[in-house]
Structure 1
Amino acid sequence: MISINNLTFEIGSRVLYEDANWHIKPGDKAGLIGANGAGKSTLLKLIVGDYTPTAGTISMAKDLKIGYLNQDLLSYHSEKSILHVAMEAFERQNQLHAEIETLLRKLETDYSDDILHKLSDKQTEFEALDGYNIEFRAHEILAGLGFSEEEQERPLATFSGGWRMRVMLARILLQAPDILLLDEPTNHLDLPSIKWLESYLQSFEGSIVIVSHDRYFLDRIINKTVESRKGKLTIYAGNYSFYLEEKALREEIQSNQYKNQQAKIKQEEKLIERFRAKASKAKMVQSRIKALDRMEKIDDVDDDNPVVNFSFKFSKPSGRHVVTLEHVSKSYPNLEILKDTGAIIEKGDKIALIGANGKGKSTLLRIVADADKAFEGTCTKGHNVSQTFFAQHQLEALHLENSILQELVAFAPKHTETELRSILGCFLFTGDDVFKKIKVLSGGEKSRVALAKALTADANFLVLDEPTNHLDMASVNILIQALQQYEGTFIVVSHDRYFLDHVANKIWFIEDKQIKEYPGTYEEYEEWNAKRPAKTEPKQEKKIVKEPKKEKADPSDDKNRVLQRKHKELSQLEAKIAETDGQVKQLEAALADEAIYGDAQKLQETTRAYNSAKASLDQLQEAWETLAEEIMELEG
């Protein structure tokens, strides 16, 4: 499909790739990973032809259709509705539709066979291209990405950058390309939209290359991991979790080989030194020196996972109640976010505030942080609470003429320079990087400096709005370690589920304009939420509740006939349960088969089939219980 051979690419004096190779095959769903600056986005631009290789080749079929999502699409501007913009994906269908409309108008005055034949040909082609369903498909994908029917009629220009990116993603998905190149597709998506996109990409029949720092997202989609590191592309035949295990194994082997080689080199050097002065051994010594020079040296393993080695310092601990919200209401024109709600943040709480965009997460966070005063009710800080608020807009508060190190020294004088350089190293500022001026940094680099400042503040309460934006996986791991060590209290908004699952001990979400709390981890919340019938299957629940009433109200259907039919339905359900249970057991046995778990692709397919069968079994059993209860109620 796409063949990358001996690729070399240089920017100025910097070599991003050197003799790199990768063959993207049909059906590949690959995650392209690596540290910030490793050239991941650059490689996608090389594939689509935006950049030209310094050496080597990138070859592909001429008719290969590529769908490429990149952050540059944020600049796309249109006054047309987002539905219209999304439907621009159907170039040929739109052209045919316009031609058909023109022919129909001509047909009002010209009944010639030529017009009729042309119209027939155009309509046949339009139907063959599924032209009558393109608007429905556009509606469906836009709805999956979080757009209501009303919003789909609004002009693209009225949406913020993040929402515009969703429209561009919809347009790319509607093009049904042979291969999707997605550069950070989850950056501007909320959790429901991320889950929808996961489901869509899992069933996508073409090839996919994803650049992402969301490891849960990668794990659910990819069957191959490609690491961009030190100018090379290293391929692992599995998802991100497989990559971590396989890389650890490879590094263990490499480390042992390095140690063995170093021991051998030292032994040879001692032997050479011992006999160097003896003329009778000169030939032997020279031979061993040449052998050492010819030896292909094995590199030691680099540690790509730095650990946090600084301690958080705050002058005084807070009281038991950090923040108390009482009778809080918040509205915007034509939109009510919160209504007479309350909650308490207690000392030691690590709260993840989650939910779809537009449900009020950022609003609530700003109220908690005292950044929004225009609300009804009270938000009271507790005894000795000292707070730091991190949000993307605070990048503007950085002092442009300061160096990175000067910025932190001025902000956190209680930390030593060594400690500050250590935390900057964690956020990818090493060596002389710490002396760079703030004004020359990119947006992502400024974000990392602002986050480093927040973590060195003399604060026992942190309010963090999307702190993982612009961080690679290594930096996200550092932030996780930092927050796990933090002895204060924090509340965080993030769409990175791996991050949330490793830092939060409570989940907040907004439902029915009320602040709701789940007392557990994000993973536990997801399991609990999946079992909520009102959330997952409202239509089914509504049907079950109404059905008995309808039957009782029907004079032609007496109680015995209702019971007879329900017993029949129960028997049918039991047969389906037995059949599905058999499928689940077969798939469980398959997962234990070495031929399956030894093959990453087969394992992924079998796991997906198992999860689907298990979910079906759970639904059938729930339906059986509901029906059995109805029968008992009628029989009683």
Structure 2
Amino acid sequence: MGNIELKQVTFGFDNQAQLLFNKANLTIDTSWKLGLIGRNGRGKTTLLNLLQGVYPYQGTITHDVSFNYFPQQISDDEQLTYDVLSEVTTVEIWQIEKELQLMQTDDAILWRPFVSLSGGEKTKVLLALLFSDHNHFPLIDEPTNHLDQQSRKHIAQYLKDKKQGFILVSHDRSFVNEVVDHVIAIEKRQLMVYQGNFATYEEQKGRRDQYELDQNKKLKTEIGRLKQTASEKAEWSRGREKEKFGNRHVAGSGAIFDRGAIGARAARTMKRSKTLVRHMEDKVADKEQLLKEIETVDMLTMNYQSSYHKVLLEVKNLQLAYEQPLFEPVSFQLTKRERVAIQGANGSGKSSIIHYLLGMFTGQADGEVDMPSNIRISYVRQNYENNVGTLQEFANEHHLSYETLLNNLHKLGVERCVFNTRIEDMSMGQRKRVELAKSLATPAELFIWDEPLNYLDVFNREQLEQVIQLVQPTMLLVEHDETFLDNVATQIIRLQHH
């Protein structure tokens, strides 16, 4: 058991106007099973990198453990998986094989090129590598990406049974809820620790947010009243100033005025009135500083174009193979405004079906597929590392409205200060949202999304659910999040291993 302590830690990237952390403090026990929570782009992965000493920062970070980070960097994915792992660890291969077996994964994948593995298989191999190392404190960044439901359950059980502590970043609420006993939340550039799981954190944060909303409402009412009073005082002050220079002698009255006395009295009155106005304005400023910054989620827009085709896709007895068939023959139909979800175990060929439909599959195929040749498709890819350049260049390259792209990005939680950052320099969550914002802005009759929720926070998932339910687009989906599919899918196709 040890401690990790951050004192007055301040950090921000040079190319971003706003700091990610501002004099943040944190003390945690390394026996805790910690979930790291925060909106994308707010610094979750950056915090893990700061713990590892990747970036220079202000303040101090002390710890009596050494760290192991997931996902590990792979230098040459063309090599056999066994050779890839041998380059990044000294752990015996039998230990990795044991971990793969615990995840119910055939260790034969060690003898395939790493590049040929599915997203889920790559995740399992790298998790097996992480779990084989018992000498370091694990920093686990998005382990559920690409994993099917059964695999998520295995990983969750593994982490629950694990006696060692860890820090976990995941967008899967139920997964985090099941495995953590403490939560670190990144809130307003500070680090807050909550005891309990994600549900406990959400309940506590919900109560606090509601309290702050109520306080904001009261403050705004009071600010309005103070501003009205300040306006009335300012008007009164201007009236007193006019009196100072007004008519001091009324013709025919015989009254004689002491012009000096009147001027002095008017000057004192005007000074008091201006002091009152300043006092009221100061009170307004003080009250405005008490207003809390509350997280809000805006509705996205989706450029769906209704097709004149009633049936956009018909698949009959389709079977794909790389030497061996990936799945049993499958048939389904996708009609206008339907949303068909393809489910199956990792490596069962879900993404291969999408690649085949888009003309990118390199294996063998059997069966029939009928899809209109001129249909406009918007595609969200699992791998989007080739998205590079500025957002303006990106919009031009894809013939998108730059304004619409930025608008959806901001609604997805990308702060405006990031808009000048090159895409390749963004966080993985921000880069994923660029890919999604591109798809949302692309005029299309059919949206094909391959694991759209990877790297996204719960706010984004709810936004996508809302816009899909509102627009009712025609979609083909591959996604493992059952809650999301329950809310958006009209039909589910389950692939069976051959």
Give the TM interval when normalised to the shorter protein: 0.7 to 0.9
Distance in 2 separating the partners of 1:153 and 1:404: 38
The answer (yes or no) to whether the contact 2:182–2:195 under 8 Å persists in 1 is yes
The answer (yes or no) to whether the contact 2:41–2:430 under 8 Å persists in 1 is no
- Cα drift, residue 7 of structure 1: 2.1
Distance 1:82 1:262, change over 3 A: same
- Cα drift, residue 405 of structure 1: 4.5
Give the 5 Å matches for 1:573-592: none
Mapped pair 1:60 → 2:45: no
Paired residue total: 458
Give the 5 Å matches for 1:212-223: 212-223=170-181
Deviates more, 1:159-168 or 1:338-347: 159-168
Distance in 2 separating the partners of 1:19 and 1:400: 31
Mapped pair 1:461 → 2:446: yes
Q: Which residue does the alignment assign to 1:151? A: 109
Q: Which residue does the alignment assign to 1:43? A: 47
Which protein is richer in helix relative to its size? 1
Distance in 1 separating the partners of 2:417 and 2:139: 34
Q: Percent identity?
A: 25
SS in 2 for 1:187: coil
SS in 2 for 1:74: coil
Distance 1:438 1:170, change over 3 A: closer
What's the TM-score once normalised by structure 2's chain length? 0.76
Give the 5 Å matches for 1:101-500: 135=94, 138-145=96-103, 147-152=105-110, 163=121, 166-177=124-135, 179-271=137-229, 274=232, 277=237, 279=268, 282=272, 285=276, 297-308=289-300, 310=301, 312-319=303-310, 321-333=311-323, 335-372=324-361, 374-381=364-371, 386-392=376-382, 402-407=392-397, 410-411=399-400, 421-428=406-413, 431=416, 445=430, 447-500=432-485
Distance 1:164 1:456, change over 3 A: closer
The answer (yes or no) to whether the contact 2:148–2:345 under 8 Å persists in 1 is yes
Q: Which residue does the alignment assign to 2:32? A: 28
Distance in 2 separating the partners of 1:81 and 1:198: 25
Distance in 1 separating the partners of 2:422 and 2:4: 41
- Cα drift, residue 160 of structure 1: 7.5
SS in 2 for 1:185: coil
The answer (yes or no) to whether the contact 2:146–2:451 under 8 Å persists in 1 is no
**Unaligned regions of 5+ residues in structure 2, if any?**
241-267
Q: What CA RMSD, in Å, does the superposition of the two structures yield over aligned residues?
A: 4.0
The answer (yes or no) to whether the contact 1:404–1:437 under 8 Å persists in 2 is no
- Cα drift, residue 58 of structure 1: 2.5
Q: Which residue does the alignment assign to 1:510? A: 495
Residue type at the aligned position of 2:219:
Q
Residue type at the aligned position of 2:196:
G
Greater RCO, CA 8 A, separation 6+: 2
**Unaligned regions of 5+ residues in structure 1, if any?**
95-133, 514-636
SS in 1 for 2:171: coil
The answer (yes or no) to whether the contact 2:80–2:111 under 8 Å persists in 1 is no
Deviates more, 1:248-257 or 1:500-509: 500-509
Residue type at the aligned position of 1:3:
E
SS in 2 for 1:511: coil
- Cα drift, residue 231 of structure 1: 1.4
Distance 1:349 1:431, change over 3 A: same
Distance 1:29 1:296, change over 3 A: farther
SS in 1 for 2:345: coil
The answer (yes or no) to whether the contact 2:303–2:441 under 8 Å persists in 1 is yes
Residue type at the aligned position of 2:10:
T
- Cα drift, residue 259 of structure 1: 2.6
Distance in 2 separating the partners of 1:379 and 1:450: 27
Distance in 2 separating the partners of 1:294 and 1:482: 39
Distance in 1 separating the partners of 2:377 and 2:117: 32
SS in 2 for 1:485: helix
SS in 2 for 1:171: helix
The answer (yes or no) to whether the contact 1:89–1:175 under 8 Å persists in 2 is no
Q: Which residue does the alignment assign to 1:81? A: 82
Post-superposition Cα deviations, 1:229-281, rounded to whole Å, max 9, x if no partner, equal 33111333333333333323212211222232333344445545555748479
Residue type at the aligned position of 1:390:
V
Q: Which residue does the alignment assign to 1:625? A: none
Post-superposition Cα deviations, 1:84-132, rounded to whole Å, max 9, x if no partner, equal 8499565xxx7xxxxxxxxxxxxxxxxxxxxxxxxxxxxxxxxxxxxxx
Distance in 1 separating the partners of 2:87 and 2:441: 45
- Cα drift, residue 211 of structure 1: 1.5
Distance in 2 separating the partners of 1:10 and 1:162: 33
The answer (yes or no) to whether the contact 1:369–1:463 under 8 Å persists in 2 is no
Distance in 1 separating the partners of 2:284 and 2:226: 8
Distance 1:67 1:170, change over 3 A: farther
What's the TM-score once normalised by structure 1's chain length? 0.62
Distance in 2 separating the partners of 1:383 and 1:83: 41
Residue type at the aligned position of 1:213:
H
